[in-house]
């Protein structure tokens, strides 16, 4: 979820558009200005929001740098029965960042 706060001292906020690396993610027209983002690939991103008021004036937020990390693969092997319902497993994690 990406969130932004926006106000306008002499009118109303019409919309907030969210960007990542200068590509629009979507526009939200009502407060709260929240945008759900899914299936984001691993990598580095700069997020910005552009608020537009009822007169068409815009204001752009400062960029916020984020890093998205992909899942780390885990290998499970050599299950050993400890009791009727419990097992001990050997695990190895992939050296992800």
**How many residues make up the chain in this entry?**
97
Average pLDDT score over residue span 15-37: 95
The band of 65, judged by pLDDT with boundaries at 50, 70 and 90, is very high
pLDDT of residue 21: 94
Q: Which domains does the chain have, with CATH numbers?
A: 2-68 (2.60.40.10)
Contact 18, 56 (CB under 8 A): no
Is the per-residue pLDDT at 88 higher than 90?
Answer: no
The band of 95, judged by pLDDT with boundaries at 50, 70 and 90, is low
Instruction: Give the pTM.
Output: 0.71
The band of 20, judged by pLDDT with boundaries at 50, 70 and 90, is very high
């Amino acid at each position: 979820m990406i969130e932004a706060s926006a106000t306008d001292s002499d009118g109303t906020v019409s919309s907030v558009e969210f960007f990542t690396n200068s590509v629009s993610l979507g526009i939200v027209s009502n407060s709260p200005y929240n945008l759900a983002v899914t299936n984001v690939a691993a990598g580095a991103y700069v997020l910005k929001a552009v608020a537009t008021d009822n007169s068409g004036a815009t204001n752009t937020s400062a960029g916020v740098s984020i890093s998205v990390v992909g899942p780390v693969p885990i290998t499970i092997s050599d299950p050993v029965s400890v009791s009727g319902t419990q097992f001990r497993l050997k695990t190895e994690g992939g050296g992800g960042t």
